[in-house]
Amino acid sequence: MFKELDPILHSQLRLAIVSLLITVEEAEFNFLKEKTGATSGNLSVQLDKLKNEGYIEVNKSFRNNYPLTVCKITPKGIAAFESYVERLKQYINPKSE
Amino acid sequence: MFKELDPILHSQLRLAIVSLLITVEEAEFNFLKEKTGATSGNLSVQLDKLKNEGYIEVNKSFRNNYPLTVCKITPKGIAAFESYVERLKQYINPKSE
DNA sequence: AAAATATGGTTTATTTTATAAACTACTTTA
DNA sequence: TAAAGTAGTTTATAAAATAAACCATATTTT
């Protein structure tokens, strides 16, 4: 009756990150940090998990001599998000079945 | 932008439990166990957390000589669930704002 | 030109959770 | 009466989330 919720997405911060990345072409580290309110360390760790899962791409470069980390959701990440949302609806829409 | 998700409810098993209890007057331990697919130990622990938070009431008695644990959601639990669902929508409905 | 401060992160350590395994207490059946 | 079943609880382990500390380089201040 209750299907598994992808543990990679069932995390407040990672869900917020993916939710943001769904809406934009790409996003910088600090944009994500501001929008989510996460600390740098936490954000760094969670971006890494999303990257290792293949849900996002992370591009590191330099801009004005400073490091710049840019993130972008992948097709796999979009699919995972959509699937997660569908499954979640089973949980939060109690009248079903 | 992203409001906090109640950590008591943002857990797959506890969310499933509350989701079930929302739909029924009350539920026995084994009903919850079957519907959620949880192990007894895990279910016991999570019911305790929900009880300690005041989200459910737990009534222990005997039936046919065997222990019987019956659970029922409280008004506080209903309110928490509804609030959680509203907040979650911010995360899973990316077009908002 | 040092020293101090800021930028943009990463790594490590700690705390919290989730989960499974082991156990308890009693009951029923063989 | 010994074995197996019921209905859970408690304890131990594994996994996650998070914060604190750190790193490398850049910029600013004195």
Task: For A7-53, write each residue's pLDDT tens digit.
Answer: 999 999 999 999 999 999 999 999 999 999 999 999 999 999 999 99
The predicted structure's pLDDT at residue B1: 79
Over residues A66-76, the pLDDT tens digits come to 999 999 999 99
Q: Tally A–B CB contacts below 8 A.
A: 52
pLDDT at B95: 62
Write the pLDDT tens digit of every residue in B7-25.
999 999 999 999 999 999 9
Q: Which helix (DSSP H) or strand (DSSP E) does residue B89 occupy?
A: helix B75-92
Handedness of CA A8, A10, A16, A19 (dihedral sign): positive
Which percentage of chain B shows pLDDT scores above 90? 92
Q: What order of strands is seen across the sheet that includes strand A56-63? A: A27-28, A66-73, A56-63
B88–A85: do the CB atoms touch at under 8 Å? no
Radius of gyration of chain A (CA): 15
Does the structure show a pLDDT above 90 at A97? no
Using the predicted structure, report yes or no on whether residue A64 has a pLDDT greater than 70: yes
SS (H, E, C) chain A: CCCCCCCCCCCHHHHHHHHHHHHCCCEEHHHHHHHHCCCHHHHHHHHHHHHHCCCEEEEEEEECCEEEEEEEECHHHHHHHHHHHHHHHHHHCCCCC
Residues 36-65 of chain A with CB under 7 A from strand C are: 40-41, 43-45, 47-48, 60
Residue B86, helix vs strand vs coil: helix
The yes-or-no verdict on residue B37 having pLDDT over 90 is yes
Tens digit of each residue's pLDDT (9 = 90 or more) over B72-94: 999 999 999 999 999 999 999 86
CA–C1' nearest nucleotide, residue B46: C18
DSSP string for B19-69:
HHHHHSS-EEHHHHHHHHT--HHHHHHHHHHHHHTTSEEEEEEEETTEEEE
Strands A66-73 and B56-63: unpaired
For position A95, what pLDDT does the model report?
A: 62
Looking at the complex, does the CB of residue A3 fall below 8 Å from at least one CB of chain B?
no
Contacts of A88 in chain B (CB under 8 A): 88, 92
